[in-house]
C-alpha cells in the first residue's frame, strides 16, 4: 500500500514573530524552521501503518527549497521517499490542497496522513480540503486509529470528548497530539537520509482564492500588575474581579 | 456582491451550541450592513428550541431532519448541506470554528467552489465586501483577508463575537425530511471525557502548571473552577507529566482560548502557553516567582505560593 504523509515547514513555536516590511508576511530573519509538530505524529503513524501492513511511505511538501530540511527529517525518521513540490509563492490552503491532491493521485496512495493543523497559519483545513478534492473519506483531529483490511476505526477529539468514527479506504487522516509518540531519528536513519535524493517537481498554480491584505501585530496588552505577594491580596483580587473586571 | 448569508447552526445531543448563536447574531449584523438576506440551517434529528434562533436575529430557519443525522457525520452532513446551499441560493456561509465547523466547512468549500477563511475574530465591511481579521502564528500576528469569487465561507472563533438576544421573536422553522444519508463516515459512539466543561467553550478557565508539583494538587484547581463555574486547563508541562489529559492543554500545540477570565496557577508563561491564552479578556496569575513572564500579561497577579493563595481564594469566594 502506498502511504503519503504531508509535511509543512514552520517557524519553531518558540519564535518571536516580526512583520516583514511589506506588512503582508512575517520577517523570516532569525527564525528557525522545523517540521510542523503535528506532522511528526502524522509521520509516526504512517510508519506504524507501513510496519503493520507493509507498503511504502512517501513524504510530500509544498513550498520553497528550505522545505527539504523537513523532508530530510521525515526521511531520517524512516519514510522511504520524499517529494518537494516546489514553489516560491505563498499558497493558501485551497491551492496547497489542490497541489497535494494531484500528487496523491499521481502516487496512487490510498491513505494520506497530515497534521491536524500547521502552526503557521493555523488553518486546520488542508486535510479535509484534500480529501474533498480527491473524493476520499476523511477523519480529522485523530487521537486513535485502527486499520483492519479496508475498514478504518478512529477516535477524533471534539469539545469535551471523542467521536468514535468508522469509515473506509481511501482516506485522509489528520493527526492530533496523543495519537502516538513520534520516534527520534537514529544515527543510521540520519546517515541514510543524507544520501537519499529528494525528488523535486515544479507545480502549476491557479489563482489564489484568498488575498492577504495585510499583517499586523495584535494590540499590545497593558503591562501586567502584581497586586500583592501574600494571602492578604486575596480579598482585593476578588473585589477587582467583581467590581472592576466584572467577570465573576 | 453578497446577497444571501446562510448560517450553519450546530447541535449536539439535540441542543443548539452557544457558539452558533454568536454566529447567528454576527451574520445578522453583517447582513444588515450589506443589505443582504440571512437564513439559518440546522441538521439533526429532534432538536430542542430551534425557534430561539429568531431571538438572536434570524427569522428563517430550515431544520434538515433524519434519525441518522443525530450525530455528526462528515460525509452525510457535507452532502446534505451542499445540496441545501445550492437550493436556497446563498452565496456566503458562516460557521462557528468548532470541531464540527472546522471539519465540515472545507468540504463545502470544495463542493461549491467557494473561497474559505477560518477562525475569524473580527469582521469589517469595506466597499460592500467582508474583510476578515484572524490570528495566525497562534495569535502572535493578525492578518486581514479578503475572499474572492462568487461564493465565500467564513468560520468564526467561539467566545469572541457576542450572541445578542434582543427580541422575543421566534424563528419560523421549516422542517425538511431527508433520506438516504451518506454514512461513508459514521460516528458510532461519543465518549465523553467527563461531564466537565471543555476549555474551548468556557467563559472562565482555571489552569494549573508544573508549579502544582503533582496530579493530586489539581484537586484545589478543580474546586476553584467549580466555585467559579469554570473549566480546568493545564500547561503542556502538566500534560506531558501525565497529570492532566491532553484535551486540557492550552497553548500553541493545545487549545487556543479566549475566555472572559483566565487564571494561571503555577504556570511560568512560556511563549507557547501565552500564544494560546493571551487573548483572554482578563488574566490572573498566581506564581511564587515574581519575575515569571506570566506576570507581564496578567491583569492581576499575586506573587506567592499557590498552596497558600488558592485555598485562601476558595475561602474568600465561599464567603461572598
Ligand atoms: C513545540 C513546542 C510546543 C509547545 N506547546 C505548548 C503548549 O501548547 N502549551 C504549553 O503550555 N506549553 C507548550 N510548550 C512548552 C513550553 O515551552 C513550557 O515548557 C511549558 O509551558 C511550561 O509549563 P509550566 O509553566 O507549567 O512549567 P514551568 O515553566 O516549569 O513553570 C512552573 C512555574 O510554577 C511556579 N511555581 C513553582 N512552585 C510554585 C508554587 N508552589 N506556587 C506557585 N507557583 C509555583 C514556578 O515559579 C514556575 O514559574 C511547547 C514547547 C514546544 C517545544
Ligand atoms: N505546504 C504544505 N506542504 C505539505 N503539507 C502541508 C502544507 N501545508 C499544510 N500541509 C498539511 O496540512 C496540515 C494542516 O495544515 P493547515 O490546514 O495549514 O493547518 C499540515 O499539518 C500538513 O500535514
Complex ipTM value: 0.94
The residue of chain A with its CA nearest to that of B228 is A248
The answer to whether the CB atoms of B143 and A160 lie below 8 A apart is no
Distance in angstroms (rounded) separating the CA atoms of residues A106 and B154: 31
Mean pLDDT within A145-159: 95
Q: What would the grid cell of residue A183 be?
A: 520516534
| Interface membership of B227 toward A (CB under 8 Å) | no
The answer to whether the CB atoms of A132 and B146 lie below 8 A apart is no
pTM (two decimals): 0.94
- pLDDT at residue B277, rounded to an integer: 95
Q: Is B177 exposed, middle or buried (0-12, 13-18, 19+ CB in 10 A)?
A: exposed
CA-proximal residue: ligand 1, atom 52 (nearest): A13
Share of chain A above pLDDT 90, in %: 94
User: How close A53 gets to chain B, by Cα (Å)?
Assistant: 22
Distance in angstroms (rounded) separating the CA atoms of residues B276 and B137: 10
- pLDDT at residue A66, rounded to an integer: 97
Distance in angstroms (rounded) separating the CA atoms of residues B263 and A52: 45
Cα torsion B270, B276, B281, B287 to 10°: value is -30
- pLDDT at residue A152, rounded to an integer: 98
The 10s digit of each residue's pLDDT in A35-93 is 999 999 999 999 999 999 999 999 999 999 999 999 999 999 999 999 999 999 989 99
Interface probe, candidates A8, A152, A241, chain B, greatest B C-beta count within 10 A: A241
pLDDT band at B85 (very low <50, low <70, confident <90, very high): very high
Is the pLDDT at B161 greater than 90? The verdict is yes
pLDDT band at A223 (very low <50, low <70, confident <90, very high): confident
Phi, psi of A188, rounded to the nearest 5 degrees: -65, -40
In this complex, the residue of B228, B282, B304 whose CB is nearest that of residue A245 is: B282
pLDDT band at A221 (very low <50, low <70, confident <90, very high): confident
Q: Which atom of ligand 1 is nearest to the CA of B267?
A: 25
Interface probe, candidates B108, B145, B247, chain A, greatest A C-beta count within 10 A: B247
Cβ neighbours, 10 Å, residue A54: 8
The 10s digit of each residue's pLDDT in B164-199 is 998 889 999 999 999 999 999 999 999 998 777 889
Surface of A (20-59) touching B: CB under 8 A: 26, 37-38
Distance in angstroms (rounded) separating the CA atoms of residues A180 and B47: 37
- pLDDT at residue A149, rounded to an integer: 87
| Interface membership of A158 toward B (CB under 8 Å) | yes
Is the pLDDT at B305 greater than 80? The verdict is yes
Amino acid at each position: 500500500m502506498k502511504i503519503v504523509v504531508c509535511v509543512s515547514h514552520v517557524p519553531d513555536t518558540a519564535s518571536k514573530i516580526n512583520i516583514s516590511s511589506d506588512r503582508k508576511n512575517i520577517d523570516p530573519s532569525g527564525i528557525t524552521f522545523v517540521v510542523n509538530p503535528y506532522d511528526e505524529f502524522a509521520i509516526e503513524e504512517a510508519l506504524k501503518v507501513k510496519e503493520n501492513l507493509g507498503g511504502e511511505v512517501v513524504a510530500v511538501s509544498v513550498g520553497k527549497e528550505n522545505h527539504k530540511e523537513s523532508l530530510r527529517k521525515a526521511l531520517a525518521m524512516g519514510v522511504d521517499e520524499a517529494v518537494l513540490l516546489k514553489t516560491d509563492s505563498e499558497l493558501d490552503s485551497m491551492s496547497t490542497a489542490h497541489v497535494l491532491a494531484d500528487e496523491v493521485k499521481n502516487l496512487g496512495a490510498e491513505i494520506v496522513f497530515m497534521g491536524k493543523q500547521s502552526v503557521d497559519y493555523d488553518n486546520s483545513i488542508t486535510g479535509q480540503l484534500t480529501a474533498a478534492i480527491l473524493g476520499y473519506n476523511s477523519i480529522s483531529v485523530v487521537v486513535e486509529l485502527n486499520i483492519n483490511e479496508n475498514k478504518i476505526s478512529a477516535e477524533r477529539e471534539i469539545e469535551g470528548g471523542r467521536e468514535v468514527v468508522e469509515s473506509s479506504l481511501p482516506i485522509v487522516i489528520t493527526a492530533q497530539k496523543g495519537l502516538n509518540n513520534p520516534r527520534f531519528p537514529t544515527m543510521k536513519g540520519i546517515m541514510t537520509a543524507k544520501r537519499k535524493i529528494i525528488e523535486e517537481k515544479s507545480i502549476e498554480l491557479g489563482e489564489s482564492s484568498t488575498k492577504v491584505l495585510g499583517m499586523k501585530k495584535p494590540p499590545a496588552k497593558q503591562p501586567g500588575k502584581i497586586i500583592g505577594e501574600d494571602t492578604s491580596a486575596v480579598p482585593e483580587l476578588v473585589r477587582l474581579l467583581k467590581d472592576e473586571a466584572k467577570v465573576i | 456582491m453578497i446577497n444571501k448569508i446562510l448560517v450553519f447552526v450546530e447541535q449536539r445531543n439535540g441542543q443548539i451550541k452557544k457558539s452558533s448563536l454568536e454566529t447567528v447574531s454576527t451574520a445578522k449584523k453583517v447582513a444588515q450592513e450589506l443589505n443582504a438576506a440571512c437564513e439559518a440551517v440546522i441538521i439533526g434529528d429532534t432538536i430542542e428550541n430551534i425557534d430561539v434562533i429568531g431571538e438572536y436575529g434570524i427569522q428563517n430557519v430550515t431544520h434538515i431532519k433524519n434519525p441518522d443525522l443525530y450525530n455528526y457525520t462528515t460525509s452525510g452532513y457535507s452532502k446534505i448541506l451542499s445540496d441545501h446551499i445550492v437550493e436556497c441560493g446563498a452565496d456566503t456561509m458562516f460557521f462557528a470554528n468548532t470541531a464540527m465547523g472546522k471539519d465540515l466547512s472545507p468540504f463545502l468549500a470544495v463542493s461549491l467552489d467557494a473561497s474559505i477563511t477560518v477562525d475569524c475574530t473580527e469582521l469589517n465591511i469595506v466597499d460592500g465586501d467582508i474583510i476578515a481579521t484572524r490570528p495566525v502564528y497562534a495569535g502572535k500576528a493578525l492578518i486581514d483577508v479578503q475572499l474572492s469569487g462568487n461564493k465565500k465561507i467564513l468560520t468564526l472563533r467561539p467566545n469572541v463575537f457576542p450572541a445578542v438576544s434582543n427580541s422575543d421573536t421566534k424563528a419560523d422553522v421549516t422542517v425538511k425530511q431527508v433520506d438516504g444519508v451518506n454514512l461513508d463516515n459514521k460516528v458510532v459512539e461519543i465518549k465523553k471525557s467527563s461531564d466537565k466543561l471543555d476549555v474551548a467553550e468556557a467563559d472562565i478557565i482555571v489552569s494549573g502548571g508544573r508549579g502544582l508539583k503533582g496530579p493530586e494538587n489539581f484537586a484545589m484547581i478543580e474546586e476553584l473552577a467549580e466555585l467559579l463555574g469554570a473549566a480546568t486547563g493545564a500547561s503542556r508541562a502538566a500534560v506531558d507529566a501525565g497529570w492532566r489529559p491532553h484535551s486540557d492543554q492550552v497553548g500553541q500545540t493545545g487549545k487556543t482560548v479566549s475566555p472572559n477570565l483566565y487564571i494561571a496557577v503555577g504556570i511560568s508563561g512560556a511563549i507557547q502557553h501565552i500564544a494560546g491564552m493571551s487573548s483572554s479578556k482578563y488574566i490572573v496569575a498566581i506564581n511564587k516567582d515574581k519575575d515569571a513572564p506570566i506576570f507581564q500579561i496578567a491583569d492581576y497577579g499575586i506573587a506567592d505560593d499557590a498552596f497558600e493563595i488558592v485555598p485562601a481564594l476558595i475561602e474568600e469566594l465561599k464567603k461572598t
